[in-house]
Structure 1
Amino acid sequence: MAEFRMPSLGSDMEAGTLVEWQIKPGDAVHRGQIVAVVETVKGAIDVEIFEDGVVDELLVVPGAEVPVGTALARIRSAQPRAAPESPEPSTSPAPIAATPAAAPSEPAVAGGVAPAALAPARGDRLKVSPAARRRAAERGIDLADLRGSGPDGAITLADVEGAAAPAPRTVAGARDLAAMRQAIAAAMAHAKREIPHYYLAMPVDMAPALAWLAQRNADRPPDERLLLGVLLVKAVAKATARFAEFNGFY
């Protein structure tokens, strides 16, 4: 019995949120198959499995945030078929010939009900990753018009991105902005912890700078006025140009 665990999808990833399962207990899975969608601070990512087997149990429900390495599901090895191991070769042909499994289906095909039954089955087999489905809904893209480039013709996020269907983003835009801010905060926290810092403090008389700034903003509308940060950025740029030692990184 193997365990499918929350993968590390980035060097700074500590936890992820399970968005959706694409499998259920009893399903057979194979190496490279997309089985779940995990959301990190960088966005929703399709997660593959790296072994063959049968889903025994799902341990985490969608919407739960769990640390990297947490067991998400249990995968058992595929059961070998019992037919080759049967010591009664003479008995097995009789049931196979006696069970007219195809007989009920043939009248159904001959009747007028079969075409209606086959059409929904084909639609149900349309494979779309949750991330691609969500992006298609945001942009108003009909998934039936797309040609999937993923495994077994699955429609991926890249396929939806490639489709030309611009649409305004509302709630999803706010969510993406929050995720971007989380990613920026994580990167800054990582830099604070891992990169050596040097601090220097000295008093600076800002009266002339503030007077110059007030004079420049006197005739400007509010949305075009300069902020004090402009002078600080200018000062840093001039300092790094004059003292190249400060214009470096580790």
Structure 2
Amino acid sequence: MNAPVAQLAVNAIAVENLRFSYGGAPIALDIPHWQVPQGSHVFLRGPSGSGKSTLLNLLSGTLAPPKNQAATQLQIFGQSLAALSNRRRDRFRAEHIGVVFQQFNLIPYLSVLDNLRLAAHFGRGGDVRDRAESLLQQLKLPLSLLSRQAQALSVGQQQRVAIARALINRPQLLLVDEPTSALDRDARDAFVDILLQSYSGVENTLIFVSHDTTLAQHFPVVADMRDLNQAWKLEAADVT
């Protein structure tokens, strides 16, 4: 399963003729072509309803990619996600992809360390305390937080712990979904700076999704869902 990832891939993400809809609903996503070279840090912008979260869920394997469309391709580091069973796709995500969710999705009654251990359990496993301490130091959090329940943390602390959880398995691809919507501008900029510093390896690929265009200045590559998603273009044309 993991052979395509063992070698340095030219593209971290390769999408061709990707079309997706929820049940019998109209097409939500129609992307003819999109490639992201490994090591890219991409700011993916677009208004609500443009398909950002749908695309992110497909890239992470949270949504099952379409299997019955012959021309469709959705590859992460050369691995077709459609070729994997649900279980193997979950394993692939745990080992190679980190996700920072908009709502953080920490388990509130577990300690910070146990939240990180749980993420590691589904990934590479092993004792993660040293790795957890290193990440907290990178994220400018006191080590005393490791024993504190997630629900006792401030919003800013929860955000940084969510980054630590996403990075605990040393993912090659990090997907970040609208994590700054509740922060003021200074806090948003500080959050992005810390994120980029913590995930600065030359082989690490980052897709940062947001409708907040002021954050684009932090990224060398900017992509727009209104250009990628043909379904959005059709919907916009119908409205006008």
Fold agreement, TM-score > 0.5: no
Higher RCO, 1 or 2 (CA under 8 Å, sep at least 6)? 2
Q: Could you tell me the TM-score, scaled by structure 1's length?
A: 0.25
